[in-house]
Amino acid sequence: MANVLELSQKYSSREKCCEFLEKLHWPDGVECPKCTMGKDAKVYQLKTRFKYECSFCRHQFSVTSGTIFHRSHLPLQKWIIASLLIANAKKGISAKQLERDLNVTYKTAWYLAHRIRRAMKESSIIRKMSGILEVDETYVGGKSHKVRGRGAKNKVVVGGVVERGGWVSAKVLENASIKEVCKPIRENADPEKVTMVCADEWPAYNQLRREFNLRRIYHGYGEYARGIVHTNTIENFWGLFKRGIIGSFHRISKKYMQLYLDEFAFRYSYTAKGRPLHAKKCNGAFMEKILANALIRDPALKG
């Protein structure tokens, strides 16, 4: 995996950056993003380098058109380096740190980081979860600790589901009610392929007995594992997320909480199944995965 200095040298010009992004986005050749002809439509390169025109619909475009890079005044080199920095940051990286590393203003660093976090949001999970799952909810912010219900009124409630050795999905919830805490698993699991669901004693999870093979662990009685029945995996994810908040971000408002959850879930899911975050090949591929997602056209952006 390249470090920041190597990336700065490798992608020292816009031309080199565009070549890299084009190979990443169009491995089989440039395609018109608007045309219904797909690969059957011929695409011609214009005199302006890295800009193309479709012979069928006459649409002009570039690899960054309609993506999070669209009309950005920030050099593509810094987008690529920022993606690497975020990929490497197990506990996240603050906008203040990006400001220093990229030599940009805090406002630019904050904007850049949030745009990249948008790219780290998968259309939740690539496939439905199966096998052994763990569900749990936790509370972020405020002063009280390990308190549920009314005592957690100053905290943000987040719920999650993790597939053992696989994906994790986390979501900001309105509260810790039955309907809310069961959302993550109902949205991401395949009931026919789930062999067991592990949860703690919180009564809201009782509802899952109707749909899954539910097994409980009773923390209130000092029980944290009973053979393969435990919620240690999802709790470890919560611990990583909270340490990231304390160490890197200090405080996150509810308005932006989902973006940070998406970032941590994306990183965790991609490095699961024996692919540790510090593995060199993993980080390089992870950076490319972030950039590949960033190149997916955003309907809200024109171009």
Question: Is residue 302 a part of any domain in this protein?
Answer: no
Q: What CATH number is associated with residue 183?
A: 3.30.420.10
Beta bridge partners of residue 156, listed in sequence order: 140
Question: Is residue 286 a part of any domain in this protein?
Answer: no
Strand order in the sheet with 156-163: 168-173, 156-163, 129-140, 189-199, 214-216
Asked whether the predicted pLDDT for residue 148 surpasses 70, the reply is: no
Mean pLDDT, all residues of the chain: 87
Q: Domain residues for 230?
A: 129-270
Query: Amino acid letter at 224?
Result: Y
Q: Which residues, other chains included, contact 35 with Cβ-Cβ below 8 Å and sequence gap of 6+?
A: 41, 54, 56, 57, 59
CA distances from 117 to 33, 66, 83, 112, 236 (A): 23, 17, 9, 9, 21
Beta bridge partners of residue 159, listed in sequence order: 137, 171
Question: Is residue 148 a part of any domain in this protein?
Answer: yes
What is the total count of domains within the chain?
1
Torsion of CA 303, 262, 203, 142, to 10 degrees: -110
Question: Is residue 303 a part of any domain in this protein?
Answer: no
C-alpha 98/C-alpha 184 separation (Å) is: 31
pLDDT in tens, 3-51: 788 888 888 999 999 999 999 999 999 999 888 776 778 899 998 778 9
Question: Is residue 48 a part of any domain in this protein?
Answer: no
pLDDT in tens, 183-226: 999 999 999 999 999 999 999 999 999 999 999 999 999 999 99
**Three-state secondary structure call for residue 212:** coil
Question: Is residue 283 a part of any domain in this protein?
Answer: no
Question: Is residue 97 a part of any domain in this protein?
Answer: no
Asked whether the predicted pLDDT for residue 111 surpasses 70, the reply is: yes
User: Considering only CA atoms, which of 41, 62, 123, 84 is closest in space to residue 283?
Assistant: 84
CA 65: distance to chain centroid?
A: 22
**Three-state secondary structure call for residue 189:** strand
Question: Is residue 227 a part of any domain in this protein?
Answer: yes
Q: Give the residue with greater pLDDT, 165 vs 173.
A: 173
